[in-house]
Structure 1
């Protein structure tokens, strides 16, 4: 069953620290929207209150679901500023950017192609 989301989740790779009253864990945000994030590399029990620390900027959240090495965190207030929102905005802009044209191959090349070295 697919859940209709109000915000598009964007693939990112953002190292963070997740803090609770009792613990501080390192993890990585792998997808992000204004309303929440999926964090891998650590987990907390569902319904845990936590804060995400990125570059000294704190974003509060509640764990919605949790597995052994990942969890989904919902933000009580949608992101609209700060370093986490800026990273989301940059990732969203990069997703929309057209692939670069490379004259040697006569076509668009995204990221240099698989296994190809482009000089």
Structure 2
């Protein structure tokens, strides 16, 4: 039996912090999306059984998902329909835009040339 090498992900994952409500078959729990892409998400604070289907509610939008892996305090979900519009997609785009802004070095320009705190050479 031969194993196939893992495929690269189709979408770039982006770190976010988005409060959501996850509806399972019998219950609904609050969670936080900490990793998001057009194809799926990692949700902390919520856990449902693997291969179960759920709904993710955010800002009036419902996104359907399938649980791919699950631990006692987090889970990874895949979206059967890619995110292309709506509030969750807008939050993803905002997070990607914020990550693209480079950090500016604030203190390097004020640093004295020389040795020590007094700039003795």
Measured against the shorter chain, the TM-score band is 0.7 to 0.9
SS in 2 for 1:100: coil
**CA RMSD, 1 decimal:** 1.7
**Equivalent of 2:69 in 60, 65, 69:** 65
Segments of structure 1 that go 5 or more residues without pairing to the other structure are 108-119
Higher-Rg member (1/2): 2
Give every structure 1 segment of 4 or more consecutive aligned residues whose post-TM-superposition deviation is greater than 3 Å: none
Greater per-residue strand proportion:
1
Query: 2:47·2:70 contact (CA, 8 Å) conserved in 1?
Result: yes
Question: For residue 49 of structure 1, what is the aligned residue in structure 2?
Answer: 53
Q: State the aligned residue count.
A: 106
For 2:7 and 2:109, the matched residues in 1 are separated by 41
Aligned in 2, Cα 1:2/1:95: closer, same or farther, shift over 3 Å? farther
Q: What is the TM-score when the length of structure 2 is the normalising length?
A: 0.81
Note the C-alpha offset of 1:101: 5.0
